[in-house]
Amino acid sequence: MDFNDTKEQAIFRKKCRDWLEANATLKSESSTNSFSEDKSYLDTSREWQKKKFDAGWAMLHWPKEYGGIAATPIERIIWNSEEAKFDVPRGIYDIGLGMCGPVMMQYATEEQKQRYLPAMAEGKEIWCQLFSEPSAGSDVAGLRTKAEKKGDKWIINGQKVWTSGAHFSDFGILVVRHDPNLPKHKGMTFFFVDMKSPGIDIKPIKQITGGSNFNEVYFNDVEIPDSQRLGDVGDGWKVAITTLMNERLAVGDASGADVNEAFKWAKGQDDMGGKLIDNMAARESIADWYCEANGLKNTKLRTMSALSKGDTPGPEASITKIVSANKLQAIGNFGIDSADMAGMLVNENNEIDDFQSAWLGAPGLRIAGGTDEILRNIIAERVLGLPEDQRVDKDIPYKDIPSGK
């Protein structure tokens, strides 16, 4: 066991570091680049992506012909850990590069790859993902959006939901139902679509936090050329599931107030009857959260160790979200309660505002990218090898599956 780089890794890390120092500034208290969706942030994101692309850092694990440098997984980890130390824009390209890129890489024609992948890596074009539907959340395969073949085109009608960045995306990946008479998982087909196509209508969704990071996307007779089909007709689920796996791996640690913020706050909080940190109940909660936070951190380190040995990562991402989203909710609640009645007040105190955001945002994290319940099922079935739930939606035509109203 050791936390030192190998000689090669050290050299590579220095290379990353040198370039980053030359082209960006280290994070600090006054760091400005927190994720947002306004124009200015989009622009700085594009600039930074372009800069990285020109230097070969944009998608370093991609083959050279698409703008990468064919880096190893561990080199990619090294780059990410170094880039994370700098005050650079993040988030806009995560879905495109993390989910759409891989699926294009696997299923698009050579010509399409040449056309789309470099533009994606360079940041010229932003991509989004169109899977979930109002009646297909945890059960994504329950999706209804229709695709009808007309000549060499497909006509799409229906509604997608929970699409991040739909309004500033150029393209999207899309899974739809081409035949409701086939069994649920066999009647789907996968496409990529130009988000500027006529008939696409985008409405933002307001969340309980007040923010709007997601959209509803309506399809009214939207035309997609058959050439933009990814995988065979009927392979939609097979293609989608690989993407979903990437999402589950991408869904990282819940950002927001964590044990360090709770600890720091508890050391300062004092009602003249004593410091909160000396309250054994608060103390034990902080200990529990510290164990969870570091359990996740060290689990990631073990995953990297495995990666650097060439093994493939396990189901850590599922664990990470279950643990960190619930921890976030508990810590937010702890911080709010510690201010007693004044815990209600917004904009009085930055730390309390952070605890409130945690408390309001956590419920979404417990749901997005797989609810606590779905993730426990995944762990039980894929990791522990337990049987799947009794299924009533298999081997019968999709249209005959009970769906309420």
Partner 1 sequence: MNLDFSDDQKYLKEEARKFFEKENTLKATRKTLEDKLFIDQDLWNKVVALGWTGITIPEEYDGLGLGHLELCVLAEEMGKVLAPIPFSSSVYLFTEAINKFASEDIKKEILPKLVTGEIVGTLGVTEDLHAPTEENISTSSNKGRINGKKIAVPDAKAATHSIVVTKSSSGIDLRLVCHESDGVSINHMDSIDESRGHFSIDFKDVDSELIGEEGNGWECYQSLIDQAAVLFSFEQIGGAQASLDMALEYAKERYAFGRQIGSFQAIKHKLADMYVSITLAKSNSYYAAWALSTNSSDLPVASATARVSATKAFQFCSKENIQTHGGNGFTWEYDCHLFYRRSKLLSLNLGSLSNWKNRLVTGLEKSNIN
Interface with partner 1, residue 345, by CB under 8 A: yes
Q: From its phi and psi, is residue 288 left (phi > 0), alpha (psi between -120 and 50) or beta?
A: alpha
Nearer to a second copy, 210 or 387 (CB): 387
Q: Does residue 341 touch a second copy according to CB under 8 A?
A: no
Write the burial class of residue 97 (CB in 10 Å: 0-12 exposed, 13-18 middle, 19+ buried). Answer: buried
Decide which of partner 1, a second copy, none touches 388; Cβ closer than 5 to 8 Å per partner kind.
partner 1
Is the Cβ of residue 22 or residue 281 nearer to partner 1 in the bound state?
281
Q: Judged by CB under 8 A, which of 74, 282, 323, 374 binds a second copy? A: 282
**Which residue in 272, 390, 404, 405 binds a second copy (CB under 8 A)?**
390
Torsion of CA 293, 294, 295, 296, to 10 degrees: 60
Positions in 219-248 near partner 1 (CB under 8 A): none
Q: Residue 247: phi, psi to the nearest 5?
A: -65, -50
Using CB atoms within 10 Å of the CB of residue 3, give its burial: 0 to 12 exposed, 13 to 18 middle, 19+ buried: exposed
User: CB 109 → partner 1: shortest distance, Å?
Assistant: 34
State which of positions 258-317 bind partner 1 (CB under 8 A). Answer: 260, 263-264, 267, 269-273, 277, 279-284, 286-288, 290-292, 294-299, 301-302, 304-306, 308-309, 316
163 lies in the site for partner 1, by CB under 8 A: no
Which one among 279, 299, 349, 377 touches a second copy, defined by CB under 8 A? 279
Rounded to 5 degrees, φ, ψ at 262 are -65, -45
Q: What residues from 118 to 147 belong to the interface with partner 1 (CB under 8 A)?
A: 132, 135, 137-139, 142
Buried b / exposed e over 52-71, threshold 16 CB at 10 Å, is bbeebbbbbebeeebbbbeb
Q: Which of 389, 402, 404, 405 binds a second copy (CB under 8 A)?
A: 389
Q: Amino acid letter at 206?
A: K
Site for a second copy in 234-253 (CB under 8 A): none
Compute φ and ψ for 163, nearest 5 degrees. -90, 110
